[in-house]
Amino acid sequence: MKNPSPLEKDIESKVVKFAKENFGMLVYKFTSPSRRSVPDRLFITNTGDSFFIEFKRLGEKPTAAQQVEIEKLRKQRARVWVVDDVEEGKTTVRMVAHGLL
């Protein structure tokens, strides 16, 4: 029997822990009372750069409503990534922290 893919919350918690412990990032669970489908987390680096990550289970895609919100944010030049794997999330955090993204 195959191991099921990690839950979204497990991927999210590992990436958040990595960002905090390795790069001192502030990470907030992002919710908006008047807007549904916003990305899961807001990350803020020690240089003030910020970005969002929408977490998904392996192979899952954002819902149509989530994709609309992601595109609205990107249109305003906000950086938003959709992450469905712990290593992908860590790589994203690392590259932003080093100014490569």
Neighbours of 61 (CB within 10 A): 11
Strand partners, 55: 83
Domains of the chain with bracketed CATH: 8-97 (3.40.1350.10)
pLDDT grade for 96, boundaries at 50, 70 and 90: very high
Whether the pLDDT of residue 3 is over 80: the answer is no
* pLDDT of res. 2: 57
- Residue showing tokens 């960002």: 19
Neighbours of 32 (CB within 10 A): 10
From residue 45, how far is each of 1, 37, 67, 99 by CA, in Å?
41, 23, 24, 10
Euclidean distance between CA atoms 33 and 90, whole angstroms = 29
53-74 confidence digits (pLDDT tens)? 999 999 999 999 999 999 999 9
